[in-house]
A and B are shown apart, each in its own frame.
Chain A
Amino acid sequence: MTTNINFSFTRLMAVMKRDMIENWKTNMYRLIGVYTGAAMAFLFGMNGILSSNRGETGEAQYAGFCDTFHSILIFVIFFYLMICASRIMEVMNTKNKRISYMMLPATIGEKFISRVIYVCITSMIIFFVGLFLAELTRLILLPLFDAPEEFSRFCLFDIMSVSLDDTIRINPGLYTERQSAEIISYLFVISNCLWSHSIYILGGTYFRKHPFVKTWGIMMALFVIAAYIFGNLINIMSYFSIDLTDERFWIKAQTLFTTISIVFLVLAVINWALSYHLFRNSQITDRKLFT
């Protein structure tokens, strides 16, 4: 293998392959977990909808099934991504593992990218494979349920198509009536998701034990503080009769949400940079943020 001191794709692939295969048990348990959870949810969900039928058509029942699962799926994917992000340094959570990973002859960048790919892409592939297998199980066990013909369709595509559309369009009218509101709402949701994800990446890089719980705890504390400040801000604004939806007001709602989105994107970049900084300065002892 190359001993090039710069980035080497071959070496990156070798690090990823080693990581995947040496941790095959973890990956297998993760796949089994996703599969079991999704299969149970699909089967019990379908059974629930079919047994509570009040004379709806098969099409309506199937639409209800997809509607139920699309919101659940988005929530689960978000939650799963955050858990995976917080496990970015799973390969370094004990002293022995740290020695092994840090001594691996690859650049710091290659090792970091390898972990990023694992928590962002490979984990999602594992998730969707589990979901796919769960859907196959539902289809195989379908004859056991007295289900209308519509349920024999491959529902994952239908659930996804609803999910994507519904999640991104968070009621554009809430912000403004204009056409550009849609783009701003996209930007707002995406920047929020990226920022949340990056927070868990940072938490995962900083905390060695229980990174998800610790990061989640900090996020909750910050949320409570932010809600308190925001609540007071609203009170102050109403005291001065400031209405953000008022077109004459010097801060337009669009400007405000665009600014917030940009701030979140910048914060996400900062979180990623801090994570890399922490990883680069990793030692086998405790991590220090400011060294």
Chain B
Amino acid sequence: MDTSMIKAEHLTFGYGKNKQVFNDFNLEIEKGKIVGLLGKNGTGKSTLLYIICGLLKPSHGNVTIKGIDIRRRLPQTLSDIYLVPEEFDLPNLSIKQFVKLNSGFYPNFSNETLSTCLNDFDLGMDINLGELSMGQKKKAYMCFALATNTSLLLMDEPTNGLDIPSKSQFRKVIASGMTDEKTIIISTHQVRDIDRLLDHITIIDDTDVLLNKSVKEITDKLYFCEQSMNEPTDGALFIQPSVQGNSIIMENRFGEESPMNLEVLFNAMLTERSKIQEVFNK
């Protein structure tokens, strides 16, 4: 059985001749995963999301979603993908009218999911989209996106503009709406908002995939811990000063369990890439 949701092969893309973003870029993402797409500013996270959903066309290579070339922009593919961009406009309509106009395009749309999700975010079914604050608009839009029940949900900086309680609600609604047939890709800089939610990490940098592993694979191979300043750091793959002392990544030689520190992992991949990759290659 093919478990692949997205397959990007030999992607080459640039904004003009002097601004190459991807060069022979390859990526495969499986079904049933919540993927964290991480990278520095300008590394092409949003661009990759746009290419995945066919809003940008690579000069070379192709992207397939469940085996269908996304460049064809077929209704059957588009009705199975939903993109929540970082910035968006919503019409000056009630949520009911918005749902009435748009839900028909998504065969698996669930009013129940929408209602539950809106309640979780303290929004009702009687809201007018034109009268909401930016944060509330984002919540309403994400609820609609989740209610479409598309196999692929792409979110670009979804927690930007959300207040603290909403960030934890966000994690809750994402986790509750997850199934084995769905894939959610979350591109973000706010790693602490989502690190407990993810089960796959993809880090991109300078047209390359630095890391594309499941959280299980990462925690099987790497051991994350906090140490005081005085404790020895021998054998550490990466050390990052923290409030408690040092955040450390070590090779997990004894199969110990540790919670993944996404921020430290991200910094480690940027600075000590070869050391970390060596551990994964063992």
Contact = CB atoms under 8 A, between A and B. Distances in A.
Interface in A11-34: 11, 14, 17-18, 21-25
B136 interface: no
Given A17-B101, A22-B91, A103 B78 contact: yes
Contact of A102 (B55, B104, B106): B55
A285 B75 contact: no
Given A18-B101, A285-B56, A100 B88 contact: yes
A1 B83 contact: no
A103 B74 contact: no
Interface in B93-128: 93, 97, 101-102, 104-107
A175 B106 CA distance: 58
A285 B15 contact: yes
A241 interface: no
Given A14-B104, A21-B101, A96-B85, A5 B74 contact: yes
Given A94-B89, A96-B88, A284-B50, A3 B107 contact: yes
A187 to B, nearest CB: 38
B73 interface: yes
B2 interface: no
A22 B106 CA distance: 18
Contact of B105 (A14, A97, A98): A14
Nearest to A6: B75
Contacts of A21: 91, 93, 97, 101
A236 interface: no
A284 B76 CA distance: 21
B50 A105 contact: no
A11 B55 contact: no
Contacts of A11: 75, 105
Contacts of A105: 75-76, 78-79, 105-106
Given A1-B104, A3-B75, A11-B75, A103 B55 contact: yes
Interface residues of A, number: 33
Contacts of A25: 92
Contacts of A123: none
Contacts of B93: 21-22
B57 interface: yes
B87 A96 contact: yes
Given A18-B102, A21-B101, A106 B75 contact: yes
B140 interface: no
Contacts of B85: 96, 99
A251 B112 CA distance: 74
A8 B75 CA distance: 10
A283 interface: yes
Given A5-B75, A21-B101, A104-B78, A99 B55 contact: yes
A105 B101 CA distance: 12
A149 B73 CA distance: 61
Interface in A29-45: none
A32 B50 CA distance: 38
A283 B56 contact: yes
A4 interface: yes
B73 A102 contact: yes
Given A1-B104, A94-B89, A103 B76 contact: no
Contact of B53 (A1, A23, A103): A103
Contacts of B104: 1, 14
Contacts of A99: 55, 83, 85, 88
A50 B140 CA distance: 58
A90 to B, nearest CB: 13
A108 B87 contact: no
Nearest to A108: B73
Interface of B: 15, 50, 53-57, 73-76, 78-79, 81-83, 85, 87-89, 91-93, 97, 101-102, 104-107
A-B interface, 7 closest residue pairs, ranked by CB to CB distance from nearest: A105-B79, A105-B78, A22-B91, A3-B76, A105-B105, A1-B104, A18-B101
Given A23-B91, A97-B89, A102-B54, 14 more contacts: A1-B105, A3-B107, A18-B102, A25-B92, A95-B87, A99-B85, A102-B55, A103-B53, A103-B55, A105-B75, A107-B75, A281-B57, A284-B56, A285-B56
11 contacts: A1-B107, A3-B79, A4-B75, A5-B75, A11-B75, A14-B105, A22-B91, A98-B55, A100-B88, A105-B76, A285-B56
